[in-house]
């Protein structure tokens, strides 16, 4: 028995003694402190001589039998010692242990509150800023999300995070929620998937008998909060009534000075039948895009998974996975998890050969090159490749050229010099072309959708 176990054991015995012995002796029982338990002898110390004498004379048989019952040892007995200093010392020790236990209990309670808050806020514990790897593709979005988490409803409201599936939108959005819950627990956070919002709205508006009351409950649920996180807003497409309601929800939140964060897999204007009011509300704040991570960021992401899960893997195995899963972080994680599972099942090392065997990536897969980007872009705009590289300045060809340059830069991350060489232009001209398209992507729907379609044809989406 260690010291704490001994104290606990004594607490149990003491409780029984208090329950069985007359009240008049309770103060003496309380004066007893345990000092040891050896070979069935439980030694207790008191600082009061009377306590020792009285208990020993009048109650020792009863006390021993209680101990025998609890310890299940028929020879056990309680030995009472009088020692003022030792009793004082032991008392202090017991108080210290009590205090520690109280603190641990409080901590446990706090953790319980937190996990309860998490489930009511619907957050996944993994999605925190600490677990989010920052790279060129997501730095701006990450910094904006962190700024919102630190100072909600001050600058970027709403924050609109957009990008293709599996690039970390939900992760970043929930990271804002976690940050707030941990650092500012008084604030109420609500995370909601758009489809849940829609079905909640529909089911509330269908209940006819007390629909006004229902709607006001619904409104309260989504406006009585400090930060609302609405995931995958594109799912609201064509649901006009829900859009109107959401618009009201946002107006109320905005007026109350509350933070709104939204994610979407596309730009607001690309959401079918979106109302102007809603679309312009989204654009009033800050819009940030997530693009696919470059090789080093991908490598860092799986290295992190390995580290967090104590997984040992060869460097070139990690590089192999990072190389072939480039468009979607969810798929990248899935591929790595598959290799790890395989290694665990069959008790193998994680080597490049194992990764090859498990993932069977097509290593002859056509790489994305300036040539095939230009070829696909020319086809899309119905112009000649030679014209794209040539000097013609017609509007159609210029747009095709600028688009090809933009996509080359985005997908290959090569320097403007190199891209300029390919398109037979100065690097400043390619840089200008890139900036032109980048500037128009958010405002001109035809440009963003042509880029999307070309990327689809290149099979990078």
d(CA 26, CA 37): 22
User: If binding is defined by CB under 6 A, does position 330 make contact with ligand ADP?
Assistant: yes
CB of 158 to Mg ion, least distance (A): 17
Residue from 175, 171, 220 nearest 200 by CA: 220
Q: Considering beta carbons, is residue 161 or 454 the nearer one to Mg ion?
A: 161
Q: How far is CA 104 from the centre of its chain?
A: 26
CB of 205 to ligand ADP, least distance (A): 28
Max CA separation in the chain (angstroms): 115
Q: What x-and-dash track marks residues 114-143 binding ligand ADP by CB under 6 A?
A: -------------x---xxx----x-----
Q: Considering beta carbons, is residue 35 or 164 the nearer one to ligand ADP?
A: 164
Query: What is the SS3 assignment for 207?
Result: coil
d(CA 118, CA 182): 10
CB of 300 to ligand ADP, least distance (A): 8
CB of 170 to Mg ion, least distance (A): 3
d(CA 155, CA 286): 9
Of positions 145, 230, 321, 329, contacts ligand ADP by CB under 6 A: 329
Q: Which stretch binds ligand ADP (CB under 6 A): 13-21, 42-50, 69-77, 326-334?
A: 326-334
333 binds, among Mg ion, ligand ADP, none (CB under 5 to 8 A by kind): ligand ADP
d(CA 73, CA 67): 8
Phi, psi angles (nearest 5°) of residue 313? -140, 145
CB of 331 to ligand ADP, least distance (A): 9
d(CA 81, CA 427): 93
Hey, what are 56's tokens? 């020993």
Report which residue's Cβ sits closest to Mg ion: 170
CB count within 10 Å of CB 228 equals 23
Residues in region 152-191 near ligand ADP by CB under 6 A? 165-171
Q: Which stretch binds ligand ADP (CB under 6 A): 144-152, 325-333, 375-383, 388-396?
A: 325-333
Residues in region 258-317 near ligand ADP by CB under 6 A? 301
Hey, what are 202's tokens? 């529909």
Judged by the rule CB under 6 A, the positions of this chain that interact with ligand ADP are 127, 131-133, 138, 165-171, 301, 329-330, 333
């Amino acid at each position: 028995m260690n010291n704490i176990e001994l104290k606990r054991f004594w607490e149990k015995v003491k409780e029984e003694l208090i329950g069985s012995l007359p009240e008049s002796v309770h103060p003496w029982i309380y004066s007893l402190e345990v000092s040891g338990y050896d070979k069935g002898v439980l030694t207790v110390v008191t600082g009061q001589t009377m306590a020792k004498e009285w208990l020993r004379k009048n109650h020792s048989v009863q006390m021993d039998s209680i101990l025998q019952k609890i310890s299940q040892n028929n020879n056990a007995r309680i030995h009472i010692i009088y020692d003022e200093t030792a009793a004082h010392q032991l008392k202090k020790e017991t108080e210290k242990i009590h205090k520690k236990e109280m603190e641990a209990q409080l901590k446990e309670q706090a953790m319980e509150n937190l996990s309860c808050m998490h489930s009511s806020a619907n957050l996944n514990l993994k999605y925190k800023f600490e677990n989010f790897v920052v790279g060129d593709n997501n730095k701006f979005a990450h910094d904006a999300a962190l700024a919102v988490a630190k100072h909600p409803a001050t600058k970027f409201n709403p924050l609109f995070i957009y990008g293709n599936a599996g690039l970390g939108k939900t992760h970043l959005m929930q990271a804002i929620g976690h940050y707030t819950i941990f650092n500012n627990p008084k604030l109420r956070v609500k995370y909601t998937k758009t489809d849940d919002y829609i079905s909640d709205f529909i089911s509330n508006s269908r209940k006819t008998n007390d629909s006004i009351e229902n709607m006001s409950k619904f409104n309260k649920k989504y406006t009585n909060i400090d930060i609302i996180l609405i995931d995958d807003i594109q799912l609201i497409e064509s649901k006009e009534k829900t859009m109107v309601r959401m618009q009201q929800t946002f107006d109320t939140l905005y007026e109350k000075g509350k933070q709104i964060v939204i994610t979407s897999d596309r730009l607001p204007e690309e959401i079918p039948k979106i109302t102007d009011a809603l679309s312009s509300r989204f654009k009033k704040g800050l819009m940030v895009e997530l693009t696919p991570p470059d090789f080093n960021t991908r490598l860092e992401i799986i290295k992190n998974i390995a580290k967090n899960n104590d997984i040992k893997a060869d460097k070139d195995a990690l590089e192999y996975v990072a190389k072939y899963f480039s468009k979607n972080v969810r798929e990248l994680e899935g591929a790595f998890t598959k290799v790890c599972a395989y290694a665990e099942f069959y008790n193998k090392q994680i080597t490049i050969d194992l990764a090859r065997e498990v993932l069977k990536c097509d290593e002859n897969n056509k790489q994305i090159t300036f040539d095939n980007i230009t070829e696909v872009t020319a086809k899309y705009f119905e112009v000649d490749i030679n014209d794209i590289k040539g000097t013609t300045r017609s509007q159609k060809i210029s747009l095709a050229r600028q688009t090809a340059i933009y996509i080359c830069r985005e997908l290959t991350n090569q320097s403007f010099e190199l891209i300029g060489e390919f398109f037979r232009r100065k690097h400043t001209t390619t840089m200008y072309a890139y900036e032109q398209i980048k500037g128009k992507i958010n405002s001109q729907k035809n440009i963003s959708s042509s880029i999307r379609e070309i990327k689809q044809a290149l099979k990078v989406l």
